[in-house]
Amino acid sequence: MKREKSAPEIVDNARPTGKPISPDENARLGSSSGGGWTRRKLLSRLGLGATLVALGGQAFAFMRSLVPNVLYESPQRFKVGTPDQFNEGPSFLEEKRVFIFREKNTFHAISAECTHLGCTVKMQRPNQPKKVTVGGREILEQAEFACPCHGSKYYGDGTNYSGPAPRPLDHFKLELSPDDGQLMVDSSEVVAQDFRLTV
């Protein structure tokens, strides 16, 4: 009697049967299955990400170096002219936003920047001088400051008396420049209202 041939045995390579699998076969099987993360794939992606971050940081540092790190502000100490260039009374220096006052041989400087929101105040002269009491002392008021933006008002010495301004106008330090004898305003140093420079 003839023996019938049995059907050939199908071997599933994706499912090993009990034999230990070498690391190379494991990597091959993992990559052919298309799913899951292997350690090699994870480390490869992490390395690529770190390289891209480092390159991005270098590019940012290079681009930032092209932009100068400079503040374009006007200097806080500036010369305004020699004492003999100022007439008796107030002089307004519009580009510097400061009033320079001369009383014979004494000088003082008051900021023209409103203490509310920084608008430039204007000086007004009343029809007749009036006496006002400021800080317990009586002064003869011949001029006052008014803010055109929100209506703040200041006496001639810079003391606020009306409107939303929270404090008086700043008085700046005034000194003589040693090299050429010009008056020098230091807007970074606020001084008391009674500060006077005698020349």
CA distance 153 to 141: 13
The domain containing residue 45 runs over which residues?
34-70
Contacts of 70 (CB under 8 A, 6+ apart): none
pLDDT at 39: 87
Give the count of domains, the chain.
2
Question: Which of 46, 70, 94 is the last residue before a domain boundary?
Answer: 70
Indicate the SS3 state at residue 72: coil
In a domain, 136, yes or no: yes
Q: DSSP E strands: which ranges in 49-117? A: 77-81, 89-93, 98-103, 106-111
Is position 5 within any domain? no
Q: Would you say the pTM of this structure is higher than 0.95?
A: no
User: pLDDT tens for residues 54-64?
Assistant: 999 999 988 88
pLDDT in tens, 126-159: 787 778 877 777 777 788 999 999 999 998 888 8
Q: Are residues 181 and 155 in the same domain?
A: yes
102 and 176 share a domain? yes
Segments of the chain with pLDDT less than 50: 11-12, 14
* pLDDT at residue 17, rounded to an integer: 56
The CATH number covering residue 135 comes to 2.102.10.10
User: What phi and psi, each to the nearest 5 degrees, are found at residue 64?
Assistant: -65, -30
62 shares a domain with 116: no
